[in-house]
Amino acid sequence: MEFIEKNNGNLIKDLCDWKLTKSEFEAKTDFKADFQQLNSLLDETENSVTENNDNQYFDAIFWTLPCILSLEEKANLFRKYLLKNWHHEHEEIAGSFQGFFYNDKDNIQVLLQAIDNIPNYLNRNDLKYPYIRKLIYAIGAQPEPFNIETLEKLASETIDMQIKELALHQIKKRRELGRWEAAKNLQ
């Protein structure tokens, strides 16, 4: 991993402590984390988040810290942290698989794992099913025919009636509308 200079480390801490905005951070340094640096910084936040129940550092590093990542690296980072249960950003990350990372069938397996591993803070029914709905919509957004096949299998194998209904609704929607970029190409 590349070394992070002490000055940049201090600025990252100030960003995480909300002493700097992203634009103030960028005005003070041209530092942009690469994949290894970002991964290392995120892994280092796990102890702090777990001990203090404070998601602020994870949030600042994951969403705000300037970085230079390829699309593949960014997708890998989102996949990894969707399945980590020590932070509180799962819903936002899941939404990214519907709105941004929707062109890779490999995302489907991660999204299914996320359905099977609901974080504790989302385990109440009033929080759990909206999160599962996001995951199922994200599966629906993935490439066809893999998305439909996965949703059909999920609907047929689950014993959870709400998950079954959500999967069946998404199957119906995808069959009627297809993927949005296909509809755009027809116009």
Q: Token pair of 70, please?
A: 């390829």
| CA 78 to centroid of chain Cα atoms | 4
Q: Token pair of 34, please?
A: 């690469």
Segment holding 146, helix H or strand E: helix 146-157
pLDDT digits 0-9 by tens, 25-61: 999 999 999 999 999 999 888 876 666 666 889 999 9
In Å, what is the CA distance from 52 to each residue of 19, 144, 170? 19, 42, 38
pLDDT digits 0-9 by tens, 131-187: 999 999 999 999 988 999 999 999 999 999 999 999 999 999 888 876 655 444 444
